[in-house]
Amino acid sequence: MSIQGYDEELRSERGYVAGLYTRLDAERARVKGEYTAALRGTGGTPMERDDQVRASAKEVKRLDLGDNGLCFGRLDTLSGEHSYIGRIGLFDEANEYEPVLLDWRAPASRAFYVATAASPENMRRRRQFHTRGRQVLDFTDEVLGRPDGDERGDAALLAAVNAPRGDGMRDIVATIQAEQDEIIRLDHPGVLVIEGGPGTGKTVVALHRVAYLLYTQRERMERHGVLVVGPNPAFLNHIGRVLPSLGESDVVFVTTGDLVPGLSVTAEDTPEIARLKGSLKILDVLAAAVADRQRLPERPVSIELAGVTVRIDAETAEWAREEARASGLPHNEARAKFTEIVTWVLTERAIGRIGRGWLTRDDRKAWEEMRADLVKELADDDGFAAALDELWPVLTPETLLAPLYMSPDRLSAAGADPALSRADGDAWTVSDVPLLDELVDLLGRDTAVDQAAEQERKAAIQHATGVLDNLVGREDSMDDEDHLFATDLLYAEDLAARFVEQDTRDLVERALADRDWTYRHVVVDEAQELSEMDWRVLMRRCPGRSFTVVGDLAQRRSAAGARSWDTMLEPYVPGRWVYRSLTVNYRTPAEIMAVAAALLAEFAPGVQPPESVRACGVQPWSRRVTADDLPDAIEEFVRDEAGREGTSVVIGPPGVPGTVPASETKGLEFDAVLVVDPERILADGPRGAAELYVALTRATQRLGVLHQGPLPRALAGLTQTGTPAGVIP
């Protein structure tokens, strides 16, 4: 196809997408008022109409990918046939759904990624289009099947890795390499671990694997969606456009601090506190803390009941507590059993005193009638309610954990390390989130809230019944004997459910708001940072245990993080996880990687650094400056990079103005990076070494280092620049 012909197809596609938008607006307009129409017994089912609108909106999003260039390649077979490869598949409806554009995930497209000169996969030529948006700029051809030919050409790959970075991660659908393609299409139902050093493309491979799974297992996965967990909001924003660019939008992006609805936590604990909270040993502390709130009265609690005084003593409370705990129910739900036992004891004692001399147990009817009256009286007694709240309080995760942190006595009773004590108990950290999530299950639901919800549902049914009765009353005057009444078409419960359950939120919004939502697949990036408690949260979110785990143990900075994948995963998926590694660095040029590799050899001598696929010709440099000149040196770098195409960042230790910590750049990439005070970053021990390694490997073109103290020995490979006036020689 000529470039001119390709542009004509794109113009036609733009018209098709514009028409879809028009149809979508019309459908949305029809949906407005649909629920009111249902009251009259007319029109379709509103929820069906909602589904139609959602489907149309998804189709618009899918085809709007043309803004990124739908078609990026072409394959010519030995027989002379050819096919076009794109981000999504398109079919000619007028010609028996003949494929116009093959989806990159389709089996027929695989040769585009794995064919080489030596193994052509029955292909004669591979063509790659170079586009900017919808405009075709150029194309390159590779002739396959020549005995003396090279392996797959790298012109498109090198063009992609050398291109200036934009605001977010780009898909690699046009340049997927054979080792990446194998991982993306791997047929494994359990957990896949993808490990690779900086720049090996492990994150983008994982995202393309998600797109592939959604394509091959759409019916199983689409209704529940996919969860992607990343290290920080900046990283999620960076990768957020990859899956939409591949036509997939039912994906939820969160950090571990967002895993409990209503919370968005970014603050971190000190390494030691994070280690304590991240260990599975904290489970015993939480269970003991809950048990500690199930109290026995120090002195009997007096309750006035029908003119007599009865008491909740320690013996009664202990019996009730044992029965409630034996029920196996979570704390809040077991409160009903505790209340039942205490209520029975108090009413038995009151009946015995009130009926002394005239009422015996043989008169069961009178005895039970009196009990029923006393139970009602107890239910309205403020003193009894206060006693229950003291002995077996209704708790939320927050109202249990915050007082625990603030009370040395409660920490001691729960067997917790005193180091967990803090004055601001509800100043949540990322390490608290899995504890709060764990407590949701330990505490259970507040039964009073459930009862209120049930009352609301019944009220909605009663209202709907009245509406239907009014409609039937008007229809009774009709003479048509064959006329169907509203109640023939619709039950009050159904009508009420349509109003109560009406939910126009998309999947992402619904999943984020529902703590009990489960996903069909979960992607975990920077997984080496997750604690044992973090993994418990994620396993609850995915009962099917279908995961793509991405990480690099050499970059671990968290004291609670993984030291081996086996330790973290084997307890949950014994024998159901596989390991794959990526060894080629597509991001970091060889000149910069040589410096980072020297540092890696010092703090992780057993780890092999990834091999860079290219050199950039620019040597990384260092300059020693004084404290007074440091701000000007940073400003000089920022000013110089502002005049260049691409992105840049200044990374430094906490407290240095104009810098960001290395932890906030994990998973990101920039054309130019300036690292400030590497000696101070290294001073944080193993955590600091991992952070400096991250900082050094963010650059795709240029790396500079400013240091005030002596340059760390591991960075001796940096080229020393001239020293301006005022700079330490």
Q: How would DSSP label each residue in 553-620?
A: GGG---TTS-S-HHHHHTTTSTT-EEEEEE-EESSS-HHHHHHHHHHHHHH-TTPPPPEES---S---
Give bridge partners of residue 707 from the DSSP assignment.
624
pLDDT for 216: 92
pLDDT for 375: 95
pLDDT for 724: 40
pLDDT at 715 over 60: yes
pLDDT at 195 over 60: yes
If you average pLDDT over residues 680-704, what whole number do you get?
94
pLDDT for 301: 96
Closest by Cα among 87, 99, 25 to 56 = 25
pLDDT at 66 over 60: no
d(CA 146, CA 666): 43
Q: Per-residue pLDDT tens for 569-579?
A: 999 999 999 99
pLDDT for 512: 94
d(CA 304, CA 378): 9
Element spanning 664, H or E: none
Residue 342 · residue 320 · CB < 8 Å: yes
Query: Who wins on pLDDT, 145 or 700?
Result: 700
Element spanning 246, H or E: none
Biggest CA-to-CA distance, the chain: 112
Q: Per-residue pLDDT tens for 284-311?
A: 999 999 999 999 999 999 999 999 999 9
pLDDT at 397 over 80: yes
The Cβ-side half-sphere exposure at 587, using a 13 Å CA radius, reads: 29
Q: Per-residue pLDDT tens for 14-63?
A: 454 455 456 656 655 565 555 445 544 555 444 455 566 566 666 665 55
Closest by Cα among 270, 194, 198, 266 to 234 = 266
Element spanning 409, H or E: helix 408-413
Query: What length is written for the chain?
Result: 729
Query: Who wins on pLDDT, 140 or 673?
Result: 673
pLDDT for 4: 42
Distances (CA, A) of 609 to 555, 686, 691, 728: 11, 17, 16, 33
If you average pLDDT over residues 334-347, what whole number do you get?
97
Planar angle of CA 84, 86, 91, nearest 5 degrees:
70
Residue 56 · residue 26 · CB < 8 Å: no
Q: Give the pLDDT band of residue 93 (cuts 50, 70, 90).
A: confident
- Structure token digits, residue 394: 């209704």
Q: Give the pLDDT band of residue 503 (cuts 50, 70, 90).
A: low
> Would strands 308-312 and 301-305 be described as parallel, antiparallel, or unpaired?
antiparallel
pLDDT for 712: 94
pLDDT at 506 over 80: yes
> Would strands 191-196 and 547-551 be described as parallel, antiparallel, or unpaired?
parallel
- Structure token digits, residue 152: 């797959």
Residue 621 · residue 718 · CB < 8 Å: yes
Which distant-in-sequence residues (6+ apart) come within 8 Å of 527 by Cβ? 193, 549, 550, 551, 562
Query: Who wins on pLDDT, 476 or 119?
Result: 119
pLDDT at 465 over 80: no
If you average pLDDT over residues 227-254, what whole number do you get?
89
Q: Per-residue pLDDT tens for 422-431?
A: 999 899 999 9
Q: Give the pLDDT band of residue 2 (cuts 50, 70, 90).
A: very low
d(CA 73, CA 172): 13
If you average pLDDT over residues 165-188, what whole number do you get?
84
Q: What percent of the chain has pLDDT over 70?
A: 79
Least confident of 95-104, 314-323, 570-579: 95-104
> Would strands 98-103 and 90-92 be described as parallel, antiparallel, or unpaired?
antiparallel
Q: Give the pLDDT band of residue 106 (cuts 50, 70, 90).
A: very high
Closest by Cα among 693, 717, 684, 721 to 706 = 721
- Radius of gyration from C-alpha coordinates of the chain: 33
Least confident of 94-98, 348-352, 641-645: 94-98
Q: Give the pLDDT band of residue 725 (cuts 50, 70, 90).
A: very low
Q: What is the mean pLDDT of the chain?
A: 84
pLDDT for 10: 44
d(CA 28, CA 627): 61
pLDDT for 729: 37
Residue 626 · residue 214 · CB < 8 Å: no
pLDDT at 478 over 90: no
Query: Who wins on pLDDT, 588 or 39?
Result: 588
Distance between first and last Cα of the chain: 62
pLDDT for 86: 86
DSSP 142: E
- Structure token digits, residue 10: 């794109």
d(CA 7, CA 86): 15
Residue 197, amino acid: G
